[in-house]
Structure 1
Amino acid sequence: MSVPSASSDTAPSIAVPPGYTLHKENSAQIILPDSNGAFLNPVQEFNRDLSVACITVWSELANEERKRKWDDKKKRRQESAEKMAKKQKDAANTKVSSEKAPVAVVAQEGIPNADLEMDVDDSALVEMPSSTSEKQNKDEYKPHTFTLLEALSATGLRSIRYAKEIPLVRYVIANDLSPEAVETMRKNVELNGLGPQRSGSLARINGGSTAPVSLDVAGANPTEPQNSARPNLGKVRVNEGDACALMYSHRAERSRVDVVDLDPYGTAAPFMDGAVQCVNDGGLLCVTCTDLSVLANTNYPEKCYANYGGVPAKAEYCHEVALRLVLHSISTTAAKYGRFIEPILSLSIDFYVRLFIKVRAAPIEVKKAASKTSLYYICTGCQSFHAQPLGKVVEKVHEATGNTNHLYKTQAGPPISSDCPECGNPFHVAGPMWSGPLHSKEFAVKLLEHIEKDPKKYGTSPRMKGMVTVASEELETPFYFTPTKIASFFHCQSPPLEEIASALLHAGHPISRSHACAGSLKTTATREEVLDVFRNWIKTHPVKMENIKAGSPASRLLAKEPKTDANFKKHAMVSALSGGAKLVRYQQNPTPNWGPAAKAGPSKRKRTRDETSAPSVVTE
């Protein structure tokens, strides 16, 4: 039986039909068939809560940007109208002055030769009508409502929550390939009062029985307004069909949607091409990938390359590598169509990654994609890494005009010799992958404000607050490390996190946590400088050399002398790592043998993961 979320008790109780189970979550309530077809998995309420919050904040920020542009355009129109009015008034005044002056009229036949003075009535002056400016003053900015497409909806729970909880949603297109899932989805949409309405009814009569109104969303025009001649198609519009075909049918500019949500079972790679084409300029792409056995492990490098165009890494920071591989795949896909990506929040969560990405159209920005893409040489022993960017942007200032031109060049390489200078082990190549920022700090701060404004709005708000806080403080530099892992390379006692952090801060290197791993640190220091901190630590906490084999990686690491001394005295900035409060940053596995569940039902298709309970959490 499902465990309702914090606000599920606000929904009215309903009679559950025989053979179905009621599931409540926040504002939504759905019924699930007991036989098959309902795909429910633990811990995914956090995914939906986070998605609702992110899309809400994105829509608010997008409207703020639209309003700024609207205000600027209105201001320009007013200034233009004032200039035109002044110009016409000046021209009229000039005409009045010239006509008021005495005019000598040459004698003609029937007209006496005389000096005449012509007067012009001031009331004849033409003034600019005030109706235009009055109309502009009356006009007020109307918030932009947006359309959302969930390509793989399964039970429809996510789409229902989007429609009910995000204020600016115009309507949601909920799609699935499975007829069983679509049947369940239609029932759930009707149950929540979001289905098609005609003459005040939630259903239409079809041969004496009630049946939901179907919608061919492939032919629908999202920009077409509702009117009396067209029925109300509902706030959640259910479609049965192939997800890629649906998204390709929305490629045309007039039929594009503002948000696309991809939440499949496994990889989202087959759906990325359609998604980046059907989303509007400045729209939001939400992507989930659960195939971390491919993305965060080197067991299937051929599969990772086939899906994402890159090779994974075997290192403790493999979950960040997974994020960057998915971003690389989306970036290269978008670049084919003159589009570029702006990741606003990229999170490694439990057994999957969840990314929120703005997609924009600007061919000039596409040229910078190569400079935000890198191969990485990763040591098989100490996991030191060295970046090999695929391109670079060179700024050249013109001496005569002072204009700055951007030149796009290839990058020299490789960045390192064949063997690791620290431990002597060989390197493996990982990537290519995204080497730019994973998050937008501005967006993360706004998202945090949204969560803190009403903590009871989301059932998993404590964990949301903790993870988004870490993301907002995370350094943009690639990859993290844990003191425990590096201590294992030296076979030494693991130093406290605060002491390592203090030593790096005293050396002038900024630090932060990583949301992807408990006990992790990110820093601008090179791996060599980090290893030197550990070598200084070992001076006061010696290693038993009798346990170190000659010629081993540990012996080579210990043989090197640190180039600088480390100061392990507690730094004042170390307290900022905890934020001064207990936060739910990292989740503890709720049950033994926990992880993604198997697909539901006999049909072979991609389905989303819905769950029945909120996750258990730990504080740090």
Structure 2
Amino acid sequence: MTVFRKFNYFFSASCKKFINMEATKNKTIKEGPAVINLVSEKVFYNPVQEFNRDLSILVLNVFSEDYRAEKTLQAQKKAQNKSVADTIDDTDKQEVEVTILEALSATGLRSIRYAKEVANITKIVANDISQQAVQTMKVNFEQNEVSHMVEASHDDACMLMYKHKQPSQRFSAIDLDPYGCPSIFLDAAVQSVQDGGLLLVTATDMAVLAGNSPETCYSKYGAVSLKTKCCHEMALRILLQCIEKHANRYSRYIVPLLSISADFYIRVFVKIYTGAIHCKKTTSKLAMVYQCVGCDNMTLQPLGGFKPNPTEKNPNQMKAFLPMGPPVTEHCVHCNQRHHLGGPIWTAPIHDPVFVSRVLGELCSERHSLGTRDRIEGVLSMVREELHDVPLYYSMDRLSGRVHLETMPMLLMRSAILNAGHKVSYSHASKTSIKTTAPTRLIWDIVRTWERTHPVKPARLEADPVAKYILSQEIQSQVDLSERPDANPGSRRAGVLRFQYNPVPHWGPGARALVNIGEEKMSKATRNQNKKLKKQNQKRQHSGSEDELRKKTVTEQQSFDIDL
């Protein structure tokens, strides 16, 4: 009976696996104008990333126009300097090639959509290390009739980019959408993108970037992450400083156009330029972060700065200097607690408002029929409203929860900040965010003013000395809680889809694609899966073989005794 049950179990498991493989092989996926077939279960596809792909298409459409215009203008200036021609004909604009590399292509869906939906594209290279993925791509390219524009490549992503690091062979845009951390590809990517080209980078290892493993974050991104309510924006700024660090090694620097935190990942769109003098300004764009362990207040310590140093020849000359520090005392002035130190993070703007407005304009064009159109409109509307020169943000639920206070309405908090003469906005990364130029002292004074009409139970304050310390301090600012009409942002009044619910049940980054590259090339985490169970099975097999050997020896000895 036991043998029959085991046979039935393995037979059922094999049947299920076979059915799943057949279902996967026959699966057809339609997204936008692209239709692809999954011919293998070892090729990765995640439907939740449709928002990522739709947004990338819009960004590339706007970028391609800017890129061609920029290159045409450079050629015109070069021609004028050489006195060859004063102008360039419109026909010359067509000679500007726009090439895109999708370094980790998998099914080829993204490249197909780029070929069909992005204007002015000359050539697309879709690369993957999996031979099965490349075979799948070729079939899909033929089916979608884009083989004349999209080239399938079977190569290691880094090696392919290193082969194209010469200026004449560089790509106009490189799309990196890996499973997990993208840092291993950044060194090659910043070298193989054209001057003024676009780098599109996705990171899905949010647990590392959000402060759950600060030591791992440092080893991968060169920055210590902090567990805080504004962790999603901090994740964006950690990734940006990592890209900048890789670019600076080759006298290059980044200009962020758009940085998005969505679902389970972050996505940044940055331009890459060459200029050693601009690399010297990097320290003024980075800062360490002091996080109070009590009230979660964040204080920035810049790594460098610039101050005016006029001369007769150059009255606008600037001089670099090292800022004084630390910016905090041993104990937090707001709650009397100690600090954690994290960073460095990118503190310069993470969006270009003009570029974001142009992407929104591109979204309104009739040539695009995107499945996540409403969500893109909502997110970009919030991004355009953000205070771009203010790093990080407060969280309304954290401010109230820290002192055990009834949550204050968001419009009242925003009105109080505006009444005090400061700017305030949401962050697209959190629906309870407060991004403001107001000092932390004013924020807590507003909370203390609210507490006067909504008192905390004394028992809770006695049990929490930090909350008691915060609320016991005197209110030093004039707080006006009268509601203002402009406290309600335009995106909220328009009713756009600003924060989306989970798109599907059990959504997430999905399972890593299976690639037959040999066990010796597997990641350490993959090799160590079920490590203890494997050891136990080996011990059982070893002990079982010893028992069989012992029984066999005894049996042979008994037979020998009988023969005697």
TM-score range, shorter chain: 0.7 to 0.9
Does residue 489 of the first structure (1) align with residue 402 of the second (2)? Answer: yes
Counterpart for residue 168 of structure 1: 120
SS state of the match for residue 215, structure 2?
helix
Amino acid across the alignment from 2:151: R
For 1:512 and 1:578, the matched residues in 2 are separated by 11
Contact 2:48/2:507, CA 8 A, preserved across alignment: no
Contact 1:266/1:606, CA 8 A, preserved across alignment: no
Counterpart for residue 374 of structure 1: 287
Instruction: Give unmatched runs, 5+ long, in structure 2.
Output: 1-21, 524-564
SS state of the match for residue 47, structure 2?
coil
CA offsets, 1:300-326, max 9 Å, x none? 112100110000011100011110111
Q: Give the superposition deviation at 1:572.
A: 3.1
Contact 1:392/1:411, CA 8 A, preserved across alignment: yes
CA offsets, 1:194-219, max 9 Å, x none? 22xxxxxxxxxxxxxxxxxxxxxxxx
1:157 corresponds to which of 109, 124, 131: 109
Q: Give the superposition deviation at 1:30.
A: 0.7
Q: Give the superposition deviation at 1:518.
A: 1.2
CA RMSD, Structure 1 to Structure 2 (Å) = 2.4
Q: Give the superposition deviation at 1:69.
A: 5.0
For 1:55 and 1:441, the matched residues in 2 are separated by 16
2:52 corresponds to which of 47, 51, 56: 47
Amino acid across the alignment from 2:375: R
For 2:208 and 2:409, the matched residues in 1 are separated by 32
Q: Give the superposition deviation at 1:19.
A: 3.9
Max Rg structure: 1
Equivalent residues in 2 for 1:432-581 (5 A)? 432-454=344-366, 457-476=369-388, 477-549=390-462, 552-581=465-494
TM (norm. structure 1) is 0.76
Counterpart for residue 108 of structure 1: none
Amino acid across the alignment from 1:442: V
Counterpart for residue 43 of structure 2: 38
Counterpart for residue 24 of structure 1: 30
2:70 corresponds to which of 65, 81, 85: 65
Equivalent residues in 2 for 1:87-106 (5 A)? none
For 2:89 and 2:369, the matched residues in 1 are separated by 37
Q: Give the superposition deviation at 1:566.
A: 1.1
Q: Give the superposition deviation at 1:163.
A: 1.2
Equivalent residues in 2 for 1:130-145 (5 A)? 141-142=93-94, 144-145=96-97
For 2:24 and 2:79, the matched residues in 1 are separated by 59
Does residue 146 of the first structure (1) align with residue 102 of the second (2)? Answer: no
Change (3 A) 1:188 1:493: same
Q: Give the superposition deviation at 1:456.
A: 5.3
Amino acid across the alignment from 1:162: Y
SS state of the match for residue 43, structure 1?
helix
Q: Give the superposition deviation at 1:137.
A: 7.0
Does residue 249 of the first structure (1) align with residue 163 of the second (2)? Answer: yes
Change (3 A) 1:259 1:596: same
SS state of the match for residue 123, structure 2?
strand
Higher RCO (CA < 8 A, seq sep 6+):
1
Does residue 180 of the first structure (1) align with residue 132 of the second (2)? Answer: yes
Amino acid across the alignment from 2:144: N
For 2:294 and 2:41, the matched residues in 1 are separated by 47
Change (3 A) 1:19 1:365: closer
CA offsets, 1:499-558, max 9 Å, x none? 000000011111111010113221011222211111111122222223212662101111
Q: Percent of aligned positions with the same letter in both sequences?
A: 39
For 1:515 and 1:328, the matched residues in 2 are separated by 20
Contact 1:50/1:464, CA 8 A, preserved across alignment: yes
SS state of the match for residue 48, structure 2?
coil
CA offsets, 1:395-449, max 9 Å, x none? 2111x34522222222211110122111122111110111111100111010011
CA offsets, 1:113-155, max 9 Å, x none? xxxxxxxxxxxxxxxxxxx89x977866437330001110001
Counterpart for residue 264 of structure 1: 178
Change (3 A) 1:404 1:378: same
Change (3 A) 1:188 1:339: same
CA offsets, 1:54-104, max 9 Å, x none? 111111122333455566678889xx79xxxxxxxxxxxxxxxxxxxxxxx
SS state of the match for residue 432, structure 2?
coil
Contact 2:378/2:491, CA 8 A, preserved across alignment: no
For 1:320 and 1:577, the matched residues in 2 are separated by 22
Amino acid across the alignment from 1:167: A
Q: Give the superposition deviation at 1:575.
A: 2.9
Change (3 A) 1:421 1:136: closer
Amino acid across the alignment from 1:428: H
Give the count of matched residue pairs: 498
For 2:297 and 2:367, the matched residues in 1 are separated by 41
For 2:458 and 2:366, the matched residues in 1 are separated by 56
Counterpart for residue 277 of structure 1: 191
Change (3 A) 1:24 1:559: same
Contact 2:127/2:157, CA 8 A, preserved across alignment: yes
CA offsets, 1:172-213, max 9 Å, x none? 111100111111111111111122xxxxxxxxxxxxxxxxxx
For 2:297 and 2:112, the matched residues in 1 are separated by 46
Amino acid across the alignment from 1:150: E
Contact 2:382/2:491, CA 8 A, preserved across alignment: no
For 2:210 and 2:513, the matched residues in 1 are separated by 25
For 1:61 and 1:499, the matched residues in 2 are separated by 42
Change (3 A) 1:393 1:149: same
For 1:382 and 1:139, the matched residues in 2 are separated by 61
For 1:341 and 1:348, the matched residues in 2 are separated by 19
Q: Give the superposition deviation at 1:583.
A: 0.8
For 1:344 and 1:606, the matched residues in 2 are separated by 35
